[in-house]
Chain A
Amino acid sequence: MLAKRLPFAALCAVLTLVMGLPILGLNLTPQGIHIVLKSAPSATFMWIALGAAVVFLFQLFKDYLSGFWRQVPLPKASSFTPNLEGRKRIYAERAGWFLVAVLAFAMPFFASRGATALGNLVLIYVILGLGLNIVVGLAGLLDLGYVAFYAVGAYSYALLHQYFGFGFWEALPISAILAATFGFVLGFPVLRLRGDYLAIVTLGFGEIIRIVINNMTWLTGGPNGIGGIPNPTLFNMEFGRIVKDPGDTLFYKVLGIEYNSNHKVIFLYLITLVFALFTVFVIKRLTKMPVGRAWEALREDEIACRSLGLSRTGIKLSAFTLGAFFAGFAGCVFAAKQSFISPDSFNLYESVIVLVIVVLGGMGSQVGIILAAAILTMLPELARDMAQYRMLFFGLLMVLMMIWRPQGLIPMKRTPVELARE
């Protein structure tokens, strides 16, 4: 068994080295007007070797690993209920997601620069909408201050960069976790409140965060905001024309192509797309997990939950915290995309727009939210002259929705489970 896998494992390890050595091990450094090829520090080579070793061992023992994993079956799926439509629906759904993902990946290579940048903004709102959907759509907690966590995420990155020189990739998880921590700490006292009271308090909190940021001038620059936030890099390759961080290289030089300012826009779009897909995937899975079921149950009937031994504080808090996590995530991406943030980017209007996305999309429905995010982000851009009527338009839209389609554009559907026959 092992002997059989040995050649393939060796091939994989060699491939890892072949790919890793030039990409990671060689750096192009500008020296005067020339560019010279320099070898990376020896530590990098050690990491590459380690990586190759891991790949080798993984490929060698892959059967054992997956065999071990497969011993424990997934909650099943065979054939009790005549659930053919159910299974067809799941496959159709998967195919749909795949198609959308492929189209979204291909889009920037055909679309204009402006369209790509707009697509990027849509994707940020998709992440925000999906995150708020946990709180509002699934757990049924009306949160009007969601933008606060978005601001925490964005400012985390900006400040971490400004004071500690953090790059995007280091700051990303920290921003998300910091926002989640804020959600947790705030949720603790607030989640005892119900319905309208919760909405009012979260509304206040959203404003407080913005005002605090506005007034802590010594730390945040106040209304002047923070600029010079670096864009994300790809394996230490920057997408600008000149290097900003001395440790980095330049994308167009490494690839030996002509400099094109579109590269940056496309790259930003693509990583935001990856993050949005990650968000879709994680939240989809969360809804099928015990915690997701508990959120929905709590939304449906809190008293029944308590009678079954579910404690509402813990469950609400987990929804609030995870919602804040994704807001912080989106905030960090937003800061990296804009390079400049100020408290103005995080006013009540943002909370409203995200909430409208969730309600319009159909509480709980991911597809609906993605659609709504696209519509609500693109419409104002297309009709710029009407910008001052935006809020009016949203209000009208909400009223019409409540009358004609209270369940949203695409109402949430439940995944049927097939039950095993004895």
Chain B
Amino acid sequence: MLEVRDLSMRFGGLLAVDGVSLNLNEREIFSIIGPNGAGKTTVFNCISGFYRPTGGEIQFNGHAIHSMPDYRIARLGMVRTFQHVRLFNRMTPLENLMVAQHHQVNTNLFAGLFKTPSYRHREQEAMDRAVYWLKKVNLLELANREAGNLAYGQQRRLEIARCMVTGPKLLMLDEPAAGLNPRETRDLNELIVSLKEDYNVAVLLIEHDMGLVMGISDRIAVINQGRPLAQGTPDEIRCNPDVIKAYLGEE
């Protein structure tokens, strides 16, 4: 489904990503781990089109996306969250989810001004989907608050809901557990598994919480200083001597 071949990204003299390859299957949870500054977020930015990679190829469901603008990649069914939450802060959670469905509603100006049946119908559908996902991430009671005033954990959940409401095939999460308390982390764990099991999305995950990563990942890739270090199932990674030395060995 997603195929990244030999990806590299250079910022001036710094080679932030060097020869990373991944291959993601449908309904798979694939994690990328590595120390801070290893280049994980840069890989995400290349895949989602925010950076144009300086080398390598990226294929998504048969489309070559390494030279596509970011918003067109998103419309192919690949959405992401950000390491630092990016919500529409002054809008409500409900509105956040409505904006995300911009391409599922009737955006025709006249249809909206005259509230034609097709407009109302699709607006209602979008509203229903938004309510569904707000309920799923347990934010329905807060639907009319200002998103910027939600607690941090709630903002994280809202960001995931905002992705899911677009009906994606691939969801990319950049450190979703950062800053969450243990209970919230457990809920997140359940949510991610449910996204895969019940909604058939593939998940590409960057995370430092090893408990979470080892528990839910189907496969894991380790990156160190921009270079791929190892790739395999959680058990393989746990026993890999290179990984232990470079990453876990610090402890």
Contacts and interface: CB of A to CB of B under 8 A. Distances in A.
Whether chains A and B associate is yes
Nearest to A86: B144
Interface in B76-98: 79-80, 82, 86-92, 94-96, 98
Contacts of B87: 300-301, 304
B120 A419 contact: no
B139 to A, nearest CB: 11
Contacts of B95: 293, 296, 414
B140 A80 contact: yes
Given A81-B144, A282-B113, A291-B112, A304 B86 contact: yes
B162 interface: yes
A303 B44 CA distance: 14
A417 B123 CA distance: 13
B92 A310 contact: no
Contact of A69 (B70, B117, B121): B117
Interface in B101-115: 102-103, 105-107, 109, 112-113, 115
Contact of A309 (B75, B112, B141): B75
B89 A300 contact: yes
A300 B100 CA distance: 13
B1 interface: no
A306 B70 contact: yes
B143 A71 contact: no
B229 interface: no
A293 B112 contact: no
A310 B70 contact: no
Given A81-B144, A419-B140, A74 B71 contact: no
B178 interface: no
A291 B109 contact: yes
The winner among B75, B80, B88, B127 for most chain A CB atoms within 10 A is B88
Interface in A253-288: 282, 285-286
A80 B132 CA distance: 13
A311 B67 CA distance: 16
A419 B102 CA distance: 19
The winner among B48, B112, B140, B146 for most chain A CB atoms within 10 A is B112
B233 interface: no
Given A74-B115, A301-B86, A304-B82, A309 B166 contact: yes
B124 interface: yes
Given A81-B141, A297-B99, A417-B144, A290 B107 contact: yes
A346 B162 CA distance: 44
A76 interface: yes
Given A297-B91, A309-B74, A83 B144 contact: yes
B216 interface: no
Interface string A285-324: 1100111011011001101111111111000001000000
Contacts of A318: 109
B86 A75 contact: no
A281 to B, nearest CB: 9
Nearest to A364: B90
Given A309-B103, A419-B131, A71 B144 contact: no
A296 B117 contact: no
A291 B99 CA distance: 9
B127 to A, nearest CB: 5
A308 B141 contact: no
B50 interface: yes
The winner among B102, B113, B141, B162 for most chain A CB atoms within 10 A is B102
A303 B124 contact: no
A282 B146 CA distance: 25
A296 B95 CA distance: 10
Contacts of A74: 115, 120, 124
Contacts of A195: none
B127 A285 contact: no
The winner among A80, A290, A297, A310 for most chain B CB atoms within 10 A is A290
Interface in A15-68: 68
Contacts of B71: 305-306, 308-312
Interface string B179-212: 0000000000000000000000000000000000
A72 interface: yes
A100 B82 CA distance: 45
A72 B75 CA distance: 28
Interface in A369-422: 414, 416-417, 419-420
B174 to A, nearest CB: 11
Contacts of A83: 144
Interface string B22-64: 0000000000000000000000000010100000000000000
B120 A73 contact: yes
A76 B140 contact: no
Given A290-B105, A308-B74, A309-B74, A417 B143 contact: yes
Task: Give the top 5 A-B pairs by smallest Cβ distance, nearest first.
Answer: A309-B74, A289-B112, A72-B117, A300-B88, A304-B86
10 contacts: A73-B120, A76-B124, A294-B99, A296-B95, A297-B99, A304-B88, A308-B71, A308-B99, A309-B71, A414-B92
